[in-house]
Amino acid sequence: MAIDATFWVAVSFVIFFGALIYLKIPQKVSQILDKMISDIKNEINESEKLRTEAKNLLDNAQKKLDTAQTVSNDILDRAKKDSDRLVIELNDKFHKSSEIKKNLAENKISQMKEAAIKEIKDASIKIAVDSVKKIISTSVDKSKLDAVFQKNLDETKEQLKKISS
């Protein structure tokens, strides 16, 4: 049997694995791998916890957002109702105010009408009196004067009755 290079490779291979087993390298490698596996499991568990917390925070934030949206919609609805009510109130006040102004104007017009009628009556009385005075001053006959005076007086009374009714 010749000792060639393959033999020495096989011997060195056996010595190398024997040294590895003697120095307990596979156990150390196994321990390192186990430690890495446990570290990875811990990180996975930690990330699961963080994911759960993030999901809870997202749910809470979504609930708050929904609540805020609901509250803002309620506020907008109330503001719209209040503005509608205010518009109606202002419209009512405007109509009441215009009605009052209309009534005041009508009263003022009727007062002015009554004042004008009174002025017309006063002027007609003055004209009648002036005409009577003129007739008296121009007329010589007293009996004629009495008849004209009585006629004018009757006409004036009739005119005053017509104006007052």
Where in the chain are the domains? 11-164
- Is the separation of the CB atoms in 148 and 135 below 8 Å? yes
Give CA separation, 151 vs 95, 109, 129, 148, 163, in Å.
55, 35, 12, 5, 18
Q: DSSP code of 124? A: H
* pLDDT tens across the length of the chain (165 residues): 568 888 888 889 999 888 888 888 888 888 999 999 999 999 999 999 999 999 999 999 999 999 999 999 999 999 999 999 999 999 999 999 999 999 999 999 999 999 888 888 888 888 878 787 776 666 556 666 677 778 888 888 887 777 766
Question: In which residue are the tokens 């419209």 written?
Answer: 91
- Any residues with CB less than 8 A from the CB of 160 and at least 6 apart, and which? 121, 124, 125
Return the residue matching tokens 């009996």. Answer: 143
At residue 39, the pLDDT reads 94
- Structural contact between residues 141 and 102, judged by C-beta atoms closer than 8 angstroms: no
Q: What pTM was estimated for this model as a whole?
A: 0.41
**What pLDDT, on a 0 to 100 scale, did the predictor assign at position 160?**
77
> Does residue 145 contact residue 139 with C-beta atoms inside 8 Å?
yes
Q: What pLDDT score does 158 carry? A: 82
